[in-house]
A and B are shown apart, each in its own frame.
Chain A
Amino acid sequence: MKTLKIEELSKNFGSTEVLRKINLEIDEGNFLVLLGPSGCGKSTLLNIIAGLETINEGNVHIDDYNVSKVEPKDRNIAMVFQSYALYPSMNVRENMIFGLKQAKVSKEKIEEQLEKVSKFLQVDALLERKPSQLSGGQRQRVAIGRALVREPRIFLFDEPLSNLDAKLRVEMRREIKKLHQQLKTTVVYVTHDQTEAMSLGTNIAIMNHGVIQQNDTPEIIYNKPSNTFVADFIGSPSMNLIKGNLKESSNKVSFVTHGSNIEIPINGYDFKEKSNLDNKEVFFGIRPEHIFFKKSNEEDFEINLKADLSEYIGHEQIMTFNFENQEVLAKFPSTVKIDLSKNTKLFFDLTQISLFDAKTEERI
């Protein structure tokens, strides 16, 4: 039984297609992050799961029960919003029990739930305050509390941290992670912040233009992005995508850029399909953190490149190199001294590369 299952879901607003044939499944207790740039449809998808938006095609199942036409309040879900959406005229207590009161839960049960949750979230001292008298972090806690008291099957989070300042965001991120570890409730979490997605999710679904590009664990998303969009979206700075061709001769495959004699041997690469490789136009993908300034293992590919630009950011520096007139970024500790406009010896870790078809932009 899947806690949440979405089948062939499509949604359009008028003539604009927002979601196209979405399929998703979440197992009990998992933390799914919907990640994508703004306007990719992730918030719409979350609203559809909540029942706040109608569906044009497809179905949403919660615990194998088709809830596509069920009212939000009957879906056994709770939602935390970006603006917290605390009812301004009610105090914290009233905010937290509003849903239970609507559901006609008994007074004793309401009090019991309220006490448990407010202690757990450390908002028990704030119960009589109005939302306007709370700090951002406290509001966030109350908003989570309001969702918790309902004991939902699924938690929905809609960019809950993007209104907080940088320091508080990191703190609250840890708290949400802890919360999930303790409660083990199923979560669907929308964000455009890749760090949040990577650190919180057990699964990440990366969306773009209303389509799920890849749905995998954070490790697979990072190491084996399924297309150039995912490769580019995850990682900071994002993956270097070097344009060139494959060359296959006597069972050896290598990568060559146009009009150059540099050949990068890629025999160790785990191709999905090892046919018709010769002369294929591809993107050679390597992350800045997988380019080293000294040899780390035998397989490393050694190359001399000229450094054009250096960006110092404290704990590390981002160097831009010229690779046959294509920019290649590398990330080094800031203690390493690299001269600009001079050739530097670099080492590509070939075990970490990705190759994409230049036409379909899919991983090969």
Chain B
Amino acid sequence: MQDKIHSSYKQLEQKSKYTNMFLRWFLYFVLVVFAFYFIFPLYVMVVTSLKTMEEIRQGTLLTWPSGLNFDSWLVAWGGRGYGAGDTFLKPYFWNSIKMVVPAVFFSTFIGAMAGYVLTKWRFKGDKWVFLFLLFGCFIPYQAILLPMARTLGVLGISNSVIGLVLVHTVYGIPFTTLFFRNFYVSIPSELVKAARIDGAGFFKIFFKILLPVSTPIIVVTIIWQFTQIWNDFLFGSTFSFGEAAPIQVALNNMVLSSTSVKEYNVDMASAIIAGIPTLIVYVLAGKYFIRGLTSGAVKG
């Protein structure tokens, strides 16, 4: 009897072992398929950007380039050197930097302040203020185009980098406030009470006590805002044109407005260049991203 039970356990054990192994391999298979699926476009882009037009015409999408040929990258970045109609990314890249750095800074800073006030200094109607801010997260981009264009016109900063900084800062505040509010909710209010008894004021408490522990959420906000603003096309194309345009708009112009032959290698190189800064931000700060996003849930 005992032996019988024992052997049937053994059989079950064997069976579940095979099932587990099968599931594991199936899992790996699915993962590999997805990995391919995601990396494939990037592969095509990089490979194409390194080919000459000759190679592109003769080979297929997947063929390996004959050598490391960075000519199309140079053209994408600095142009061919002739006058009219020569669009290249360099000036617009700097436009985007000039737009994205202040916009990220201001929206993050204002969001941090707002989150601090909404959690640590309760005032009459604070719930309503937060509700309206939250509402701001759900307003579609398109809805604010006209009023914003009018506002920029009245302020006299339409078609300028400053105008775009303002648009992105304003549009970003609901999101940054939400991030910081949710983070500061998890920080005990007793800290603020202790600091008040110790004689620290509104700004001192913010800069000396809350901001030094906010690194994770600051990183999250920066990544989020940087990606949003850098990749934005709608605001950029609506509120700016010509020389004030950010890189995404320039990229679009470059790819769509070429009059002669379609230069796929230059287009691909341009697209990669336009995407590199966000990639860098992710690589540098990515590990904080997940940590920061979950920090509201798990007190750390």
Residues of A20-78 whose CB lies within 8 A of B? 47, 50-52, 71-73, 77-78
List, in ascending order, chain A residues with CB within 8 A of B200's CB: 98, 102
CA distance A98 to B212 in the complex (A): 15
Residues of B190-205 whose CB lies within 8 A of A? 190-191, 193-200, 204
List, in ascending order, chain B residues with CB within 8 A of A103's CB: 199
CA distance A71 to B201 in the complex (A): 11
Known: A98-B200, A102-B200, A103-B199. A85 touches B194 (CB 8 A): yes
CA distance A52 to B193 in the complex (A): 7
| A259 interfacial by beta-carbon distance below 8 Å | no
| A99 interfacial by beta-carbon distance below 8 Å | yes
Are A73 and B198 touching (Cβ within 8 A)? yes
Dominant secondary structure of chain B at its interface with chain A: helix
| B131 interfacial by beta-carbon distance below 8 Å | no
Are B199 and A87 touching (Cβ within 8 A)? no
Among candidates B188, B190, B198, residue contacting A98 with C-beta atoms closer than 8 Å: B198
| B209 interfacial by beta-carbon distance below 8 Å | yes
| B213 interfacial by beta-carbon distance below 8 Å | yes
List, in ascending order, chain A residues with CB within 8 A of B197's CB: 50-52, 72-73, 77-79, 99
CA distance A82 to B212 in the complex (A): 22
Give the residue name and chain of the A residue nearest to B201 (CB). Answer: A102
CA distance A51 to B200 in the complex (A): 14
> Total interface residues on A, using CB and 8 Å?
23
Are B193 and A73 touching (Cβ within 8 A)? no
Are B196 and A81 touching (Cβ within 8 A)? no
Residues of A62-116 whose CB lies within 8 A of B? 71-73, 77-79, 81-83, 85, 87-89, 98-99, 102-103
Among candidates B188, B191, B198, B208, residue contacting A99 with C-beta atoms closer than 8 Å: B198
CA distance A82 to B194 in the complex (A): 11
Are A81 and B194 touching (Cβ within 8 A)? yes
List, in ascending order, chain B residues with CB within 8 A of A82's CB: 190
B200 → A minimal CB distance (Å) = 6
List, in ascending order, chain B residues with CB within 8 A of A99's CB: 197-199
CA distance A82 to B209 in the complex (A): 18
List, in ascending order, chain A residues with CB within 8 A of B194's CB: 79, 81, 85, 87, 146
A106 → B minimal CB distance (Å) = 16
List, in ascending order, chain A residues with CB within 8 A of B193's CB: 47, 50, 52, 79, 81, 85
A72 → B minimal CB distance (Å) = 5
A163 → B minimal CB distance (Å) = 11
Are B199 and A102 touching (Cβ within 8 A)? yes
CA distance A73 to B204 in the complex (A): 14
CA distance A23 to B193 in the complex (A): 24
Q: In the complex, given contacts A73-B197, A146-B194, what are 18 additional A-B residue pairs having Cβ atoms less than 8 angstroms apart?
A: A47-B193, A51-B197, A71-B196, A77-B197, A78-B197, A79-B197, A81-B190, A85-B194, A87-B195, A88-B191, A88-B212, A89-B213, A99-B198, A99-B199, A102-B198, A102-B199, A102-B200, A146-B198
Seen from chain A, the residues whose Cβ lies within 8 Å of a Cβ on chain B are: 47, 50-52, 71-73, 77-79, 81-83, 85, 87-89, 98-99, 102-103, 146, 158
Q: Which 10 A-B pairs have the closest CB atoms?
A: A89-B212, A102-B199, A99-B198, A73-B199, A85-B190, A85-B194, A81-B190, A72-B197, A83-B188, A85-B191
Interchain Cβ contacts under 8 Å between A and B, 20 examples = A52-B196, A73-B196, A77-B197, A79-B193, A79-B194, A81-B188, A81-B193, A81-B194, A85-B188, A87-B191, A87-B209, A88-B191, A89-B208, A89-B213, A98-B198, A99-B197, A99-B199, A102-B199, A102-B204, A146-B198
